[in-house]
Amino acid sequence: MREAGFDFSRVRALSGSGQQHGSVYWKKGAAAVLRGLRSQHGLGRQLQDCFSVRDCPVWMDSSSGPQCERLQRAAGGADKLADITGSRAYERFTGSQIAKMREGHPREFQDTERISLVSSFAASLFLGAYAAIDYSDGSGMNLLDIRSKKWNEALLEAACPGLDVLLGTPLPSASVLGAVSSYWVRRFGFSEACQVVAFTGDNPASLAGMKLRQGDLAVSAPERQLFSNGVSIGTPLPPARVSQVSLGTSDTVFAWLRHARPALEGHVFVNPVDWRQFMALLCFKNGSLTRERLRNRCADASWERFSAALRQTPLGNHGYIGFYFDVMEITPPAVGVHLFDADDNEVSSVSAQVEVRALVEGQFLSRRLHAERLGYSIIPGTRILATGGASRNKDILQVLSDVFNAPVYTADVSDSACLGSAYRALHGALQQSGVSFFDILKKAPEAQLAATPQPHAPQVYCEMLQRYGRLEEKILQELRP
């Protein structure tokens, strides 16, 4: 940016996002190095000896099963842990990873004076001091009580006695942590008044970038990245890009929740825009690749024929319902293809047109069912925001609108996490003047209406949703050993 001639003195505030579920272990004495960074040298050279652990666990690490079991016992069971923290124990979550690090690397752990998430680590670099973990990213650790917004003492004790000292006190996601350190002022020309707003996780930042509000639901497939920064400068906002029901390789669902109802499947985080409310996140592995497989088999590899099949079959599909789990699904944990007729009898084959609609209706019934189990409900003004490859198919979007009985909007989003970080930076800088998050985005472009529900859709899919839930449970019972 400096080589491109960017004027850092214009930056009023900055924030950012970090890949969720990663942890960074600061070595004793690292705080003093952060405070005394010299502007004539780069960060890598000065910080290379500041970490007690060289190879830190991230979200791909699934080796902490015993530690997960201990967390669940400390909470009183998986259901209770989900109720407290928003999720049952997940091996890739930070609480169990910290516990495993303490047990497997006691010497390195003993030499640790602070543990950051990837997001708060990045914020620390700009702040020149250890940055607080924000509520939203902190709720992806299996340690934070999502209602009291405090670390749960029993869970901290189960993971590591004294862990609260290593983690610090969590703060709301819109908190201004302080001004950028003198390192950035001297090396890059930042203003001394530039504010650092708490960084958050990539998924919560995406919710902010989509401009989701209460009642909205987004379906999307954001790219994984380590961390991204957003800056707020003293000029008009750039064109906004909104998200999502993510319709990509996997389908990801974000929902703004007023009240949380955590379950064993999916996740509930503290909302990054309003810390008094919540967000839900669900990920479904069997997304666009499954749709493409059926397009190839049932529609001669033609999206136009695939769309024609949706137009030529009625809402409700004559009672046929399909479950398509080409690979082991996350939500629910099931695998295989299961087709049912109107009498709930499993059948081996149907016509190509019926199977196309069975797939699409079944996928969106699943998204709605599991979102509602986490506390999502359709209210007046609810919008569905869709992005990803399938969001360009109007017939798929029409089914999405009908199943959810809500209008569907589309928007072009290339990096909603980075955009959300810029929005959050501006909000953090202005919130003391009473400006709300949505007030600052009034001039940002809105998503475009793509589909509205047909009049008889609620009658069809209300009953069908109940059937889908019963049949899903039947499949799970048959798959259990």
Please check whether residues 174 and 317 belong to one and the same domain. Answer: no
Residue 457, phi then psi, degrees to nearest 5: -60, -45
Q: pLDDT: is 388 or 472 the higher one?
A: 472
Please check whether residues 219 and 179 belong to one and the same domain. Answer: no
Q: Is residue 1 assigned to a domain? A: no
H helical segments located in 128-267? 135-138, 153-159, 163-167, 182-188, 202-209
Please check whether residues 161 and 279 belong to one and the same domain. Answer: no
- 54-78 average pLDDT score: 94
CATH number (domain holding residue 288): 3.30.420.40
Please count the structural domains in the chain: 2
Average pLDDT of every residue of the chain: 91
Q: Is residue 63 assigned to a domain? A: yes
Please check whether residues 172 and 216 belong to one and the same domain. Answer: no
Q: What is the pLDDT of residues 271-321, one digit of tens each?
A: 999 999 999 999 898 988 899 999 999 999 999 999 999 999 999 999 999
Please check whether residues 387 and 304 belong to one and the same domain. Answer: yes
Cα distances (Å, whole numbers) of residue 156 to 74, 80, 170, 204, 459: 9, 15, 14, 23, 48
Q: How many CB atoms lie within 10 A of CB 195?
A: 20
CA-based end-to-end distance of the chain: 56
Last residue of a domain, one of 146, 178, 197: 197
Q: Which domain holds residue 13?
A: 8-197
pLDDT at 50: 98
- Confirm if 211 and 427 have CB atoms less than 8 A apart: no
H helical segments located in 215-270? none
Q: Is residue 52 assigned to a domain? A: yes
The Cα 129–Cα 131 span in angstroms is: 6
Whether the per-residue pLDDT at 173 is higher than 80: the answer is yes
Please check whether residues 169 and 273 belong to one and the same domain. Answer: no
Q: Is residue 15 assigned to a domain? A: yes
Q: What is the pLDDT of residues 116-168, one digit of tens each?
A: 999 999 999 999 999 999 999 999 999 999 999 999 999 999 999 999 999 99
Q: Is residue 426 assigned to a domain? A: no
pLDDT at 229: 53
Q: pLDDT: is 244 or 44 the higher one?
A: 44
Please check whether residues 159 and 221 belong to one and the same domain. Answer: no
pLDDT at 247: 57
Smallest Cα–Cα separation from 291: which of 187, 205, 361, 366?
361
Please check whether residues 63 and 164 belong to one and the same domain. Answer: yes
Please check whether residues 166 and 291 belong to one and the same domain. Answer: no
Please check whether residues 102 and 214 belong to one and the same domain. Answer: no
- 75-82 average pLDDT score: 97
Please check whether residues 125 and 76 belong to one and the same domain. Answer: yes
442 — pLDDT class (breaks 50, 70, 90): confident
Q: Is residue 231 assigned to a domain? A: no
Q: Is residue 473 assigned to a domain? A: yes
Torsion over CA: 64, 68, 71, 73 (sign): negative
- Confirm if 416 and 241 have CB atoms less than 8 A apart: yes
421 — pLDDT class (breaks 50, 70, 90): very high
The Cα 388–Cα 295 span in angstroms is: 17
pLDDT at 468: 98
Q: Is residue 455 assigned to a domain? A: yes
Q: What is the pLDDT of residues 206-245, one digit of tens each?
A: 899 888 888 899 876 333 334 445 554 433 333 322 224 5
Please check whether residues 168 and 212 belong to one and the same domain. Answer: no
pLDDT at 125: 98
